[in-house]
Amino acid sequence: MTDPASPHASAPDARRFDHVETWIFDLDNTLYPHEARVWPQVDERITLYLMKLFETDGLSARALQKHYYHRYGTTLRGLMEEEGIVPADFLDFAHDIDHSAIELNPALGDAIERLPGRKLILTNGSRKHASNVATKLGIFQHFEDVFDIEAADFIPKPDRHAYDRFLAKHAVEPARAAMFEDIAKNLLVPHALGMTTCLVLPKTVDPFRETFEQEAVAAPHIDHVTTDLAGFLAGPVCGPL
């Protein structure tokens, strides 16, 4: 990666953006900073859901939550596989959060609007959650559609099934697409499919997320890394083309 003093870095052999026709963005911890306190609330709601479901204490529920997350990719998938829960009930409960700390981001909205081509959100969350958050950020109107966990048949990223369903539904040519994500492993399949990839990291460490999810990964499947998504999109690497 280049220039460690910059909020942006690119691998020496990084794929570029001049050919990109479809811009794909993860939602949580990618399109908003952790100061918006979106994910901590969702995380707490998931723990509370498990406490109610299993009638257990917070520590036990938390341990089970992490077990499901690491084994299945999401707690929801684990609960569907092992407990047969109704996913809509879980999603409604988990995403019933306070959005007041989310601030408008005109710079991000302007940068996304200026990107040439289609813009889509690909999230392991629900469509309603994506709509609520992106609307508060002031960027929802710039996106053509949201591909959520229901559209993925409740199989989450990084499973290839989620990406294959997304590409088929929206007729996306991966070799002419770019993917922006906050978790490095979720970029493995997109890069293998031919997408240009960008890992979006927090400017400061988020104490509510696991450390490995916030590391600046130098790996063949990571073309670019940034801690300033709006600046990166508007900058010389993938800005005005």
- Percentage of the chain beyond pLDDT 90 is 82
Tell whether the model's pLDDT for residue 6 goes beyond 90: no
Tell whether the model's pLDDT for residue 51 goes beyond 90: yes
The stretch 164-170 carries a mean pLDDT of 98
- Percentage of the chain beyond pLDDT 70 is 94
Average model confidence (pLDDT) across the chain: 92
User: Which residues 6+ apart lie within 8 Å of 139 measured at CB?
Assistant: 31, 105, 108, 109, 112
The stretch 31-58 carries a mean pLDDT of 95
The answer to whether the CB of 120 falls within 8 A of the CB of 144 is: yes
In whole angstroms, give the CA distance from residue 137 to residue 209: 21
Confidence of residue 2 (pLDDT cuts 50, 70, 90): very low
pLDDT tens-digit series, residues 113-165: 999 999 999 999 999 999 999 999 999 999 999 999 999 999 999 999 999 99
In the chain the domains, ranked by start, together with CATH numbers, are 8-34+102-234 (3.40.50.1000), 39-94 (1.10.150)
Tell whether the model's pLDDT for residue 80 goes beyond 90: yes
Confidence of residue 214 (pLDDT cuts 50, 70, 90): low
Predicted pLDDT at 241: 43
As beta bridge partners, residue 233 has none
